[in-house]
Amino acid sequence: MTAVKQTPYSGRDVPRSAKVICCGRNYRAHVAELGNELPAHPTLFTKFADSLTGAGDDVVITPAIEEAGLDWEAELAVVVGKPLPRYATTDQARDAVRGYTVANDLSVRGRQWRTTQWLPGKALDASTPVGPHLVTGLDPADGLALTCHVNGELMQSGSTDDLVFGVPTLLVAISEFTTLAPGDLVLTGTPGGVGAALDPPRFLHDGDVVECAIEGIGSTRTTIHVKEAA
């Protein structure tokens, strides 16, 4: 068994040229809370590298973004360590993983859902905390616990063994349309408990503190600030 090893890692350190590819609706509990059927294929979308920020950084949004509904999403993120060619095999996909980290895919629901394309709600500059460690020697298939707390209240509690599409499957699916390079980042989806699925829906506001944690990896801690655009 490979020993677990942690090294410092931050979303601010991801190369600007890196690909950031994400999977939506990839936990059974999250699919169920949205009232959807389990997908036959991964629901993939992209972010830009400048949408990332550090694990302990604050996130600043405008009143318009606050009004549109900023939601939390604790996620396991995969850091690519080796080139992954087109049409990769499962073994190649496993071998391409450098390690794992924590991400909070903060999502502007009113921008995400106003069309069928999610990009405007998912790629806000400096809005996706990532870090604080890159961890090797873990296997998400073993079931790593994920949690998200908002102002100390537990909002999400899940496990990576609830993933619809596991890490190798996701990487193979991505390789069908693009190559992956060292430094690229893949976000694997969020468990149940997002604010948009609550009744009534609940979103983030000025001063709220969001903490996303994954067993064996670490946690992000983000304070939300609302300010008028400069």
pLDDT in tens, 15-54: 999 999 999 999 999 999 999 999 999 999 999 999 999 9
Task: Provide the percentage of residues in the chain whose pLDDT is more than 90.
Answer: 97
Question: Coil, strand or helix: which one is 171?
Answer: helix
Bridge partner residues of 218 (DSSP): 214
Query: Alpha-carbon distance 201 to 68, whole Å?
Result: 12
- Res 230 pLDDT > 80: no
Q: Does 200 sit behind a cis peptide bond, omega within 30 degrees of 0 on the bond before it?
A: yes
Q: pTM (2 decimals)?
A: 0.96
Q: What is the pLDDT of residues 150-193, one digit of tens each?
A: 999 999 999 999 999 999 999 999 999 999 999 999 999 999 99
Provide φ and ψ at 133, rounded to 5°.
-130, 150
Instruction: Please give the structure tokens belonging to residue 194.
Output: 């997002």
The residue whose two tokens read 């609706």 is 25
Whether the pLDDT of residue 2 is over 80: the answer is no
Reported as half-sphere exposure (CB side, CA atoms, 13 A), residue 21 has a value of 22
Q: Choose between 1 and 13: higher pLDDT.
A: 13
Tell me the mean pLDDT in the region 70-77. 98
Residue 138 has what pLDDT? 95
Residue 202 pLDDT greater than 60, yes or no? yes
